[in-house]
């Protein structure tokens, strides 16, 4: 099969590769697979020493996903789906990392990769219509297309506090966790952050350490995970449903199996609402959040109602202890359930009932700096710790690409552009940056609110099909028009601004990174709707994208 490189008209430069892909996570592996299958010459880079992406980097204690194993899957091979038999409903990190290694082995994907190598520079050459891409290892390659599968939560906020480098013990960001086991015995451990990550760390190490100091700033609404083991027979049954499930996740609001199915919150009596909440609560999944009622995201009364339900459940688990309830349960005035990412947890709240777990309230006094022996608060209190765990999150959505020197037309810088205003065309490209394709960047569901495997595969398929079409037409350059991008941003904002999410500070809004322009990262029109819009653009031969 002819490659796009071979089809390139003589006046454009002839790149070494049709495409350079960044990342060997869920998206990068599939992107590499798809382009290779389609006969493109692909070069892929990965900063880690092996495949896995999120599941390579986030090897902290307790790491696991909260999409069910039957939907956290690739859909391009039923055989592959049948072969890999997850052992539980929500498998832990080691199993997911092994699964991605299995996928790479099965399709011989590693041969396309250079590992332990970070892309640092990507400049577009308008004359030659190609990207020149350099790495931290001194390699420079050229490619017609530059495809980012760098992940939405892969730029960790590591250097959070002054003095971190003076700390005498070990300090880890959860997304840079070492491969060797950590000996917790006899240790006082500080954990900063109680997002989904900090929660998993706290619930996992509380019983292993001598003393745990949890630095809590914003408490979370949490749901207890129901995580049964899966037998081989259980999995064989799931395999029977492969085709239906594959179709279903593509059309739901969040890319999960479940969807809003209870009608309007307003049409239900309080008792009916309660029964619905209880039903999902028992399910022990994110269904309470993502399928109880759509109004949970948009309507103050519905939000208040479900929030109080979750608060009540949390109070019970904390034995109604006034101190713990005060510190660990969001107040009605804080924010509503689900306007923040909802963590699924396993005995997280119960960890605080242990005598060796102490809460350090960062709202009463903020963390000032790290000292050689611990953490100093603004009020002067020093918390001595032997190990400091930073579960402090990520520069989400835009961070991974902004940390690369990406330059488009006229040398414009993506970091500078996104530093002023984070805009994309449907999350698959950016005006001013021809032949750049993106996944898991802002203004698409894959930026935050989605079962990631569903949304990443959809974007990779769209990009791959687009590249095949361009090759068929002999087109060497594609770029979203300004008008198309403007219209998408406007559409995104209209939907976003109708939700309560925009009123809550969190990484969803970029407010966890100082100076980051505020905009809801995730497209919230629904995964099925987003897919439909992407398909429509493709069906109209990439209407809204200029080609030459
Ligand atoms: P995160 O949700 O952004 O949480 C960061 C935490 O660090 C917050 O509690 C934040 O407090 C705290 N923090 C940051 N700076 C601080 C400071 N100066 N002082 C005190 N506290 C500070 O990050 P994350 O927990 O890593 O989670 C990110 C996302 O990864 C999740 O929302 C989820 O989408 C994904 N994830 C998924 C799973 C899963 O599938 N089960 C597991 C882990 C992570 P404030 O809120 O007050 O800023």
**pLDDT for 6 beyond 70:** no
Residues with CB under 6 A from ligand 1: 64-66, 153, 160, 192-198, 200, 215, 217-218, 341, 362, 367, 391-394, 507, 512
Confidence of residue 279 (pLDDT cuts 50, 70, 90): very high
Nearest partner of 215 among 321, 365, 337, 354, judged by Cα? 365
Confidence of residue 54 (pLDDT cuts 50, 70, 90): very high
pLDDT, residue 411, reads: 98
**Contact indicator for 484, 490 with CB cutoff of 8 Å:** no
**pLDDT for 358 beyond 70:** yes
Span 208-229, mean pLDDT? 98
| Ramachandran angles phi, psi of 75, nearest 5° | -110, 5
pLDDT, residue 7, reads: 41
CA dihedral 538, 544, 545, 546 (to 10 degrees): 130
Using CA positions, which residue lies closest to atom 31 of ligand 1? 196
Task: Return the DSSP state at 429.
Answer: B
Task: Return the DSSP state at 148.
Answer: E
Q: What share of the chain in percent tops pLDDT 70?
A: 98
Ligand 1 centroid to residue 175 C-alpha, Å: 11
pLDDT, residue 60, reads: 98
**pLDDT for 11 beyond 60:** no
Pocket test for ligand 1, best of 176, 192, 193, 451 (most atoms within 8 A of CB): 193
Ligand 1 centroid to residue 194 C-alpha, Å: 6
> Does this model's pTM top 0.95?
yes
pLDDT, residue 10, reads: 36
**Ligand 1 atom, smallest distance to 393 CA:** 23
pLDDT, residue 8, reads: 41
Span 411-416, mean pLDDT? 98
Ligand 1 centroid to residue 227 C-alpha, Å: 22
Tokens representing 304?
């208040």
**pLDDT for 41 beyond 60:** yes
Domain residue limits, the chain:
16-155+395-476, 257-290+292-339
Tokens representing 145?
């297309």
pLDDT in tens, 253-273: 999 999 999 999 999 999 999
Pocket test for ligand 1, best of 25, 53, 195 (most atoms within 8 A of CB): 195
The domain made up of 16-155+395-476 has a fold known as FAD/NAD(P)-binding domain (3.50.50)
Q: How many CA atoms lie within 13 A of 250 on its CB side?
A: 17
pLDDT, residue 13, reads: 81
**Ligand 1 atom, smallest distance to 343 CA:** 41
Ligand 1 centroid to residue 192 C-alpha, Å: 9
Pocket test for ligand 1, best of 217, 285, 388, 446 (most atoms within 8 A of CB): 217
Pocket test for ligand 1, best of 26, 72, 198, 393 (most atoms within 8 A of CB): 393
Span 474-496, mean pLDDT? 98
Handedness of CA 45, 51, 55, 58 (dihedral sign): negative
Ligand 1 centroid to residue 366 C-alpha, Å: 16
pLDDT, residue 144, reads: 98
Using CA positions, which residue lies closest to atom 28 of ligand 1? 393
pLDDT, residue 422, reads: 98
pLDDT in tens, 448-461: 999 999 999 999 99
pLDDT, residue 73, reads: 98
């Amino acid at each position: 099969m002819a490659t796009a490189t071979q089809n390139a008209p003589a006046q454009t430069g002839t790149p070494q590769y049709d495409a350079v892909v960044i990342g060997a996570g869920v998206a990068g592996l599939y992107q590499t697979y798809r382009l290779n299958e389609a006969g493109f010459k692909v070069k892929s880079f990965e900063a880690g020493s092996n495949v896995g992406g999120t599941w390579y980097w986030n090897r902290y204690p307790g790491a696991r996903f909260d999409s069910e194993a039957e939907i956290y899957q690739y859909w391009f091979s039923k055989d592959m789906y049948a072969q890999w038999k997850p052992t539980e409903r929500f498998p832990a990190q080691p199993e997911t990392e092994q699964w991605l290694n299995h996928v790479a082995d099965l399709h011989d994907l590693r041969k396309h990769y250079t590992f332990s190598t970070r892309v640092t520079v990507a400049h577009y050459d308008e004359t030659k219509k190609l990207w020149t891409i350099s790495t931290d290892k001194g390699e420079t390659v050229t490619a017609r297309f530059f495809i980012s599968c760098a992940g939405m939560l892969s730029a960790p906020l590591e250097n959070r506090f002054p003095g971190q480098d003076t700390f005498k013990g070990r300090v880890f960001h959860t997304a840079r966790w070492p491969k060797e086991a950590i000996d917790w015995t006899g240790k006082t451990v500080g954990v900063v952050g109680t997002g989904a990550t900090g929660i998993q760390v706290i619930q996992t190490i509380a019983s292993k350490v001598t003393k745990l100091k949890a630095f809590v700033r914003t408490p979370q609404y949490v749901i207890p995970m129901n995580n049964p083991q899966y037998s081989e027979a259980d999995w064989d049954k799931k395999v029977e449903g492969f085709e239906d499930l594959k179709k279903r996740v593509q059309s739901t609001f969040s890319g999960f199996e479940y969807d809003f199915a209870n009608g309007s919150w307003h049409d239900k009596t309080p008792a009916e609402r309660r029964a619905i909440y209880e039903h999902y609560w028992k399910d022990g999944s994110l269904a309470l959040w993502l399928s109880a009622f759509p109004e949970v995201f948009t309507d103050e009364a519905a939000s208040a109602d479900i929030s109080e339900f979750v608060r009540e459940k949390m109070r019970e688990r904390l034995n109604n202890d006034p101190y713990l309830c005060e510190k660990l349960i969001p107040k009605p005035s804080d924010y509503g359930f689900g306007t923040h990412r909802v963590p699924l947890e396993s005995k997280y709240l119960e960890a605080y009932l242990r005598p060796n777990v102490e809460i350090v309230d960062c709202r009463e006094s903020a963390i000032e700096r790290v000292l050689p022996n611990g953490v100093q608060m603004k009020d002067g209190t020093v918390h001595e710790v032997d190990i400091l765990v930073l579960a402090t999150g990520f520069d989400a959505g835009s961070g991974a690409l902004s940390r690369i020197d990406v330059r488009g037309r006229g040398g414009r810088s993506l970091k500078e552009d996104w530093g002023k205003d984070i805009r994309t065309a449907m999350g698959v490209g950016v005006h001013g940056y021809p032949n750049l394709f993106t996944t898991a960047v802002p203004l698409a569901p894959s930026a935050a609110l989605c079962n990631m495997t569903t949304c990443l595969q959809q974007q990779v398929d769209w990009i791959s099909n687009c590249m095949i079409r361009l090759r068929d037409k002999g087109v060497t350059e594609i770029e979203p028009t300004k008008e198309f991008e403007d219209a998408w941003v406007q559409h995104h904002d209209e939907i976003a601004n109708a939700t309560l999410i925009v009123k809550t500070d969190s990484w969803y809004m970029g407010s966890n990174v100082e100076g980051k322009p505020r905009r809801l990262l995730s497209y919230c029109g629904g995964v099925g709707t987003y897919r439909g819009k992407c398909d429509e653009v493709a069906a109209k031969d990439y209407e809204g994208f200029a080609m030459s």
